[in-house]
Every structure is written in C-alpha cells, then in structure tokens.
Amino acid sequence: MRPDSSPREGPRPEVEALICAGQVGCESEKAARLWRLLQGEFDWDYLLSLARPHGMLPLLYRSVQTTCADAVTGDILDRLREHFQRTTQRNLFLTGELLKILGLFTAHQVSAIPFKGPTLAALAYGDVGLREFSDLDILIRKQDVSRAKELLVSCGYQPQVTLTAAQEAAFLRSENALLFSRDDIQSIVELHWELTPRYLSSRLDQNHLWERLELTSPAGQGIFTLAPEHLLHFLCVHGAKHGWDCLGWICDVARLVNAHRGLDWGLVLAQARKQGDERMLLVGLSLAGDLLGAAVPATVSEAIEADSVAKALARMIYQRYLYSPDRPQGIVELGLFHLKAKERLRDKVRYCLHALITPSVADWEFLPLPGALSFLYFLLRPIRLLRKMGPSEPRRRT
C-alpha cells in the first residue's frame, strides 16, 4: 500500500525527522531513525519553521526528548520545551473555557457535543499538551443555533461576521458553522449544527451522533465527545476539505486509529459509503498508514487497493509531504482535489454549483448589496474566484 518511491533525490533530513516525529508504533525504531538523521548536516531552524504551521512542535519535542535528547543542542531543546509548556498551559486554559461554555449550555437546555480540540487531544493523544489547537469546536442541534448564539454573546463572545436575516438563513442552509471570538482571552468558538458543509459531504445521521458518545477526560475533567468511528469519519472529510495540507491532521487520524484498536471498521466504512465519503476516508487512512505507520486493518487496505483514484490522491499528497511540505496549494489545485475525491456524479455537480455560484460570506463582505440586488452575487462570485486563483497561505491546525 506504500506509494512508489520518487526517482528524485531523497527528501531533506529535516522533513524526514518531522514525519518521524508524527509516526506511531515502535519507539525504538523511531529513536534509531532520528539518531541516524541527526548525524549529518541538519538545519534545526528550518525544521522548527516547518513544524510550526503543521502543528507538530509538541510531537517533535516529545520525540526528541524521549529518544535522542543527547544529540540536540541545549538551545534547541530549550526552545522546544518552552513551546511545549506554553502549548500545554494554553490548552489547559481552553479546556477550562470549554467546560464553562458547556456548563452554560447545559443550564439553558442546549445540548452540545465538543469535538476536536481538548477532547481529541485526550481521545487520540492521551495528553492535552501534545495536540496544538486554537478553536473550540462544538456541535449543537440546528434548532438551538439562535439560543446558543445568545448564550455565547452573553459571556463575551462576538460573531466574526455580521449577517442580515436573509444572509443568515442562506448561510444556515449552505454552511455548517459560525465562528465566535473573544479577544480578551484570545478564544475562538466554532459553533456547528452540521459536522461538514453540505457541498462537501452529505448530511450525517444526527441521531447516530447523539446516541453514541464517548467519554474523555482532558485535564481530568469528564467530557462526552463523538464516538471514535464518527470522529474518524469526520477527520478524514475535514482533512480532504483542506487538501491535507497540515501534517497534524494526518497525525490526528493515525493517533486515533492506534489508540482505539477496537474500532468498528464495518460501521466506519458503511457510514462513509452511505454519505458518499468513502474515497475521502480511504485517502486519509492511506496517508495515516503509509506516512505515519497507523495500524490500518486489512479490510481498509483492500478497499484502498480497489480504488485507483484514492491511491493516486494519497500518493500525490505523500510525495508533497516528502519533497515540498512547505508549498501552499492554490484554489484550482484544491478544487480539482475535491472533485477527484468525490465518487458520485451528483456530489460532483453539487460541489461545482456551490463553488461557482453560491454566495459566501466573503462575497457579501466584498460587496454589500441591498436585498433587492442580491441576485447579482451569482454574477459576482465567479469574478471574485478568478481573482483568488494562485497559491494560498499555509494552514495551521485548529
């Protein structure tokens, strides 16, 4: 299942070290590989600058500190340690903020499921400090959106976009989340009523999500989150949404798979197939297995082998991480990836219609129009998209 080797010169040792830091499995093999990589010419400044946008500094610190600390200069180890300590402190603070919000929602009968952030760190990594995150993602029921907004505003959060009533109604139909920020504590809450936007993935059965939850304990506090099977599905769709341009997202998949060896793989595959997301799932699992050594079962490996498009997409991303991990994707490249990652014609058509003509918040902010002229957004959007073509900024993990 491992992609073919590139005929070009091998990847830089710093890139190999970064990937090694994210790998799961045998620690002795990881230690030996890191030692070997550090024996030759090695640019630590480049590695640190590469690891930062991929959310990999905590894992890099843990790998170096536990396997080859003697081979690293004190200055580098101190920088990694300081970042890890800051990340841990920040994550513990955000965990406390999440608990306050969940308590507020519970007190006002708003059911909520946190996911990603602290709960994913606990569920997949077993340590809230090993996974960098900046947002608090919370899933609620769609009928509770207005009430949840009021509650967030009451405790100091403000919506990041201001929408008219008509725009908000359109947004609720086509998108899946609203962002709120609180500047005094630098906290962002992403309030979801669907896990993924409709143009990217069909709607998951919400009843299954709410009926099958998993108890986690970030910072020693019990919090229910998505079951590992549903979370794995989401992580693979989320990674596909962003073209897997953050290595930390592949680490999330690999760590979740290895932390939960009793996953119901029949359920994982069946729900992805039902939603038309099977290829996105297979690409994510292929990367987690081939790049980071996750224990992917034979049934999944066979499904990957049977899908030549999934194999090709995974190979493309695999090669990008080896040879150009700091190269940002362009909007056209990402759009083509999305189309190839979809199996069903109706999903490809829905994606194209959304991408080309469905107005977004960016369109509304680019040119505010009165309601009577809102039909002009269908003409404006293709023009604005043409202006955006080109490489985008590298993403950070959230």
CA neighbor of 69 nearest in space, from 56, 60, 126, 43? 60
**Residue 68 lies inside a defined structural domain of this protein:** no
Single-letter amino acid, residue 212 = R
Whether residue 338 is found in the same domain as residue 215: no
**What percent of the chain is predicted at pLDDT more than 90?**
67
Cβ-based neighbour number of residue 196 at 10 Å:
23
Give the sign of the dihedral formed by CA 382, CA 169, CA 342, CA 316.
positive
Is 151 a domain residue? yes
The H or E element containing residue 246 is: none
Residue 169 lies in a domain: yes
pLDDT, residue 1, reads: 47
CA–CA distance, 55 with 268 (Å, rounded to integer): 26
Is there a contact between 247 and 56 (Cβ–Cβ < 8 Å)? Answer: yes
Local structure of 129: helix, strand or coil: coil
**The last residue of a domain, from among 226, 244, 263:** 226
Which of 226, 248, 271 is the C-terminal boundary of a domain?
Answer: 226
3-class secondary structure for 180-206?
Answer: EEECCCCEEEEEECCCCCCCCCCCCCH
Q: Which range has the worst mean pLDDT, 130-134, 179-183, 302-306, 358-362? A: 358-362
pLDDT for the residue 7: 43
Extract the tokens encoding 327. Answer: 């190269």
Specify the CATH number for the domain of residue 106.
3.30.460.40
Q: Is the pLDDT of residue 209 over 50?
A: yes
Q: ∠ CA 71-77-83 to the nearest 5 degrees?
A: 150
What are the residues whose beta carbons fall under 8 Å from the beta carbon of 262, sequence distance 6 or more? none
**The last residue of a domain, from among 226, 253, 272:** 226
Is 99 part of any domain?
yes
Q: Is residue 322 included in any domain, yes or no?
A: no
In a domain, 198, yes or no: yes
Cα 85–Cα 89–Cα 93 angle in degrees, nearest 5: 170
In whole angstroms, give the CA distance from residue 108 to residue 148.
9
Please provide the average confidence, as pLDDT, over all residues in the chain.
89
Residue type, 104: L
Is residue 103 situated within a structural domain? yes
pLDDT one-digit tens code per residue, 278-287 = 999 999 999 9
Residue 4 in this model has a pLDDT that exceeds 50: no
Q: How confident is residue 71, by pLDDT bands cut at 50, 70 and 90?
A: confident
User: Is residue 62 included in any domain, yes or no?
Assistant: no
- The CA distance from 268 to 288, in Å, is 15
**What is the residue range of 374's domain?**
328-398
Exposed e or buried b per residue across 212-233, where buried means at least 16 C-beta atoms within 10 angstroms of its C-beta: eebebebbeeebebbbbbbbbb
- The closest alpha carbon to 121, from 62, 80, 195, 197, belongs to 62
Report which of residues 2 and 376 the model is more confident about: 376
Local confidence band at 2 (pLDDT 50, 70, 90 cut-offs): very low
pLDDT tens digit sequence for 162-199: 888 888 888 888 889 999 999 999 999 999 999 988 88
Q: Do residues 222 and 335 share a domain? A: no
- CA atoms of 99 and 103, how far apart (whole Å): 6
Instruction: Tell me which amino acid residue 52 is.
Output: R
pLDDT in tens, 98-144: 999 999 999 999 999 999 999 999 999 999 999 999 999 999 999 99
Number of domains in the chain: 2
Residues 336 and 218 reside in one and the same domain = no
Task: State how far the Cα of 17 lies from the Cα of 50, in Å rounded to an integer.
Answer: 11
Helix axes 13-22, 27-38, angle to 10 degrees: 160
Q: Check: CB of residue 233 under 8 Å from CB of residue 279.
A: no
Of 68-72, 108-112, 223-227, 299-303, the one with minimum mean pLDDT is 68-72
Query: What angle, rounded to 10 degrees, do the helices at 298-306 and 308-323 form?
Result: 100
Can you give the pLDDT at residue 13? 94
The helices-and-strands tally (H runs, E runs) of the chain is 19, 7
